[in-house]
Amino acid sequence: MTRYLIIRAVGVIPTLIGISILVFGITYLIPGDPALIMAGSEATPEVVANLRQQWGLDQPVYIRYLSWLGNMVRGNLGDSYFSRQTVTQLVGNALPVTLELAILSLLVAMLIAIPTGIVSAVKAGSWFDLGAAALAFIGLSIPSFWLGIMLIYVFAVHLQQLPAGGFTPLSAGLWPNLQSMILPSIALGTFASTQLMRYLRASLLDVLHADYIRTSRAKGLRERSVLLRHAVRNALIPFTTVLGVQMGYLLGGTVIAESVFALPGIGRLVLTAVLNRDYQVATGIIFLIATAFVLINLVVDMIYPILDPRVRLARSGG
């Protein structure tokens, strides 16, 4: 057991090195010069060269990589070339916005997907089911940025009930904060809900045809009880797993939603960094996210044997 944990922990090191090479290499391969972007087109070549020197961009790529890696190991994600703020500081400001958006979007997705999915499965082949399927296909086909702009037009410009963009922090009050997040959450959550709804319907249909459901009915249980206590609960197990995967997609999908709704989240931060060739910020954030996933994987691997004796047994019995 201990040997297994050590092997897993050590195995993370080459993974992280591999990720660092990929992240650094890809970011630096993008054509463009941050010094030129900073200094502007009107700056003389000497001024641009001077900035490149100050930022160490005149160094060979392997030296820049090693220097960057060294800083990473020491927990220093670097400073933005442009704003001169630390990447940690920038991430610290942006991450809560993105997390809030992703969580609320998931909530919206669940609120739409769970009831619709259940009714569609129970009334499979009905007008409701067909209508829901049609709406799901439409929802899948609508780009979230278009839906976002339409929502803004209807609820902000026309009805003037919600803000047309921008972020109000929680410190300014719960309701103002929620108001600024309602439309982006709907825009992002609608897309996710269509997939979740179809998945839940399929999963529930499978369960509804299972023997134990037939047995439950044969025992004389009420249909409501069969559905909610036996069928839905079982159908929600794989659904929950997919829900987790969706959360990952939602976090990634915030790039567009944050741009449309002018939210100062991670997605917009990465996008700006890539456009400006702010290598330190772009590589820092992408590496941070990748590292987080690797470490979560490691922790889960370590927790598995503790939580599930069958897995521990399998590993020891080998």
Partner 1 sequence: METRVKLPLTRRAFLTRAAIGLAATLGTGVLAACAPSAPSAPAKPAEPAKPAEAAKPAAAAPTQAPIPVTAVVQPTAAPAAAAAPAPTQAPAAAKPSAGGTLTVSQSVDINTLHPWIGTLNVWKGIKTDVYDQLSFQDPATFEFKPKLAKSFEWVDNNTSLLVTLPSGVMFHNGEKLTAEDVKFTLDSILDQQTGSWLRGFLAPIKEVQVVDETHLKLKTANIEAQLIPAFSYVDISPKSMGTDLAKKNPVGSGPFKFVEWVPNDRIVLEKNAQYWDQARIPKVDKIIFKPVTEMQTRLSQVLAGNVDLVYDFALSEVPRMQADKRVVVTLNPPAEQSFAMYLNMRKPPFDKVEMRQAMGWALDREAFFKNFQSGIGSTVGNSPFTDKHWAYEPKTAAAYKFDPDKVGQLMEKAGFPKGQGLDFSLLVPNGYPEFKQISTMLQATFASLGFQPQIEEVEIAQWSQRLNQSREFFAAVDYPGRGTADPALTYSAGLLYPPNPANICGLAPETMPGYVDALKEGAQTTDQAKRKEAYSKAQMLWVEHLPGPVFGHRSAAHAALPGVKGFIPHAAFQQSWTDVSVEK
Stretch 229-258 residues interacting with partner 1 (CB under 8 A): 237-238, 241-242, 244-245, 247-249, 251-256
Binder to partner 1 among 99, 135, 164, 178 (CB under 8 A)?
164
Is position 304 an interface residue for partner 1 (rule: CB under 8 A)?
yes
Q: Angle CA(100)–CA(103)–CA(107) in degrees, nearest 5?
A: 135
Q: Does 31 bind partner 1 (CB under 8 A)?
A: yes
- Kindly state whether residue 172 participates in binding partner 1, applying the rule CB under 8 A: no
Q: Kindly tell me which of 68 and 261 has the beta carbon lying closer to partner 1.
A: 261
Is 205 a binding residue for partner 1 by CB under 8 A? The answer is no
Which residues, in sequence order, are CB contacts of 34 under 8 Å at separation 6+?
Answer: 55, 57, 81, 82, 276, 277, 278, 279
Residue 308 touches partner 1, criterion: CB under 8 A: yes
Q: Which DSSP helix (H) or strand (E) runs through 214?
A: helix 211-218
Q: Which of 84, 127, 141, 219 binds partner 1 (CB under 8 A)?
A: 84
Options 57-65, 66-74, 151-159, 221-229: segment touching partner 1 (CB under 8 A): 151-159
> Which of 39, 118, 122, 197 forms a contact with partner 1 (CB under 8 A)?
39
The answer to whether the Cα torsion of 185, 186, 192, 198 is positive or negative is: positive
Alpha-carbon separation of residue 294 from 260, 278, 281 (angstroms): 31, 24, 20
Interaction between residue 221 and partner 1 (CB under 8 A): no
The CB-side HSE value for 100 (13 A sphere, CA atoms) comes to 22
User: Can you say whether residue 64 is alpha, beta or left, with left for phi > 0 and alpha for psi between -120 and 50 degrees?
Assistant: alpha
Q: Which is nearer to partner 1, 164 or 182 (CB)?
A: 164
Selected binder of partner 1 within 3, 13, 41, 141 (CB under 8 A): 41
